[in-house]
Chains A and B, each alone.
Chain A
């Protein structure tokens, strides 16, 4: 079935370094959502992108939706220990079936 692939699976960065996770689909996506799950917690919605080429920023976080609406990225500038967690992309894939990517687990080295 349709899938949303996410890379990398794990990322270890020194505090203060930047971090990027990528989300890719073989088909055009109607939208892309990003969630953060803290260790031991539940996913929390961060943002939704719907337009081709859309870019949105939330403080140190920058979200992009590709021109072809088949890929997306989340970039964190100057990571902090509070950024630790797993970041998921998700999409309704055009049929209202909200499907999640495999996630990228971010760990920060103080």
Chain B
């Protein structure tokens, strides 16, 4: 089946640890995105990438890092510099920036 997969669904980490969230797509999409959603809030853009080996900061990139070494993969690292990392993280992809976005199931990160 074609789609976009995020893993794990739930993730727990201790404060001060870096953690990497996985996002893989087999839709042959060029564009990929990472969003953060807090309870009752909208989606805020963390990073986006339009092509392999290139990515841009979104509105809340501080404390996060990404890589785009392969078209299919766009992992997000939540670093210890992120002051309030507990949130729901959503990865999305689209054929190109103007097309509909397909979302993964999301990863709920809890930092204790």
Contact = CB atoms under 8 A, between A and B. Distances in A.
Interface of A: 1, 6, 30-31, 33, 35, 42-45, 48, 88, 90, 92, 95-103, 105
B94 interface: yes
Nearest to A2: B59
Interface of B: 31, 33, 35, 40-45, 48, 50, 56, 58-59, 90, 92, 94, 96-106
A100 B35 contact: yes
B42 A92 contact: no
A45 B97 contact: no
A96 B50 contact: yes
A48 B104 CA distance: 19
What's the dominant secondary structure at chain A's contact region? loop
B42 A103 contact: yes
Contacts of A44: 103
Contact of B98 (A35, A43, A96): A96
Contact of A43 (B43, B58, B94): B43
